[in-house]
Amino acid sequence: MNLSFFDQFSSPSLLGIPLILVATLLPALLLPSPNNRWIAGRLSTLQLWLINLITKQLMIPLDKKGHKWALILTSLMLFLLLTNLLGLLPYTFTPTTQLSMNLALAFPLWLATLLTGLRNQPSITLGHLLPEGTPTPLIPALILIETTSLLIRPLALGVRLTANLTAGHLLIQLISTATAALFSTMPAISFLTLIILFLLTILEVAVAMIQAYVFVLLLSLYLQENI
């Protein structure tokens, strides 16, 4: 029984071919394709409004030098948002529950922000490893601690996203299994668990949106430190 709960996190395959690539491309297929008209319909208007809102929120903590990252940050935000929300549908696979994929997104972008700082302002970037006014005996220990905290950032980004989505999916499956099992023996208890399941689903929708925003927002804050 315990293994069946975690089967939803295994990558589906067809004829031995993993289908995780199809799952990652699906969100892009749902977006309407651009055309020459200013407003092609209500869906395009909603899409432009959402992209504009996301871009404004992500660019607030950044200076003008960081606005050149708007395209990649907004695209990442939309990808994570749609992937997380589509994963809440029944009989679907959520690629962002895979730690390997989240680390593949977090590590290159974090490394790009770090290399940007080392190229543009190396003294300030390296100065973050040693706070001003540190006593001389504590300098080696603080440099080691700050370096470790710096290197652990991409791991924290990936683990945070994976853990929150995995925990939510497991809770939904556990409560839905209990609801189905109690339906024939204790209908009243089953109805109460169904209400809890409905509220938990709403909470998971919020968590899926918040985790996508937090992932990209932290990347933008790391970028702001290095520009």
Is residue 158 situated within a structural domain?
yes
DSSP 180: H
Is residue 138 situated within a structural domain?
yes
Is residue 2 situated within a structural domain?
no
- Indicate whether 75 pLDDT > 90: no
Provide the strand spans (E) within the chain: 13-14, 17-18
The string of pLDDT tens digits covering residues 113-123 is 999 888 888 88
Residue 147 CA to residue 142 CA, distance in Å, equals 8
The string of pLDDT tens digits covering residues 134-176 is 777 878 888 888 888 889 999 999 999 999 998 888 888 888 8
Contact 191, 198 (CB under 8 A): no
Is residue 115 situated within a structural domain?
yes
- Indicate whether 1 pLDDT > 60: no
Contact 195, 33 (CB under 8 A): no
Is residue 58 situated within a structural domain?
yes
Number of folded domains in the chain?
A: 1
**Range(s) of the domain holding residue 47:** 7-225
Between 203 and 140, the more confident residue is 203
In b/e form, how buried is each residue of 15-43, taking b as 16+ CB within 10 angstroms? Answer: eeeeebeebeeebeeeeeeeeeeeeeeee
Confidence band for 203, pLDDT divided at 50, 70 and 90: very high
Is residue 1 situated within a structural domain?
no
- The predicted model scores a pTM of 0.82
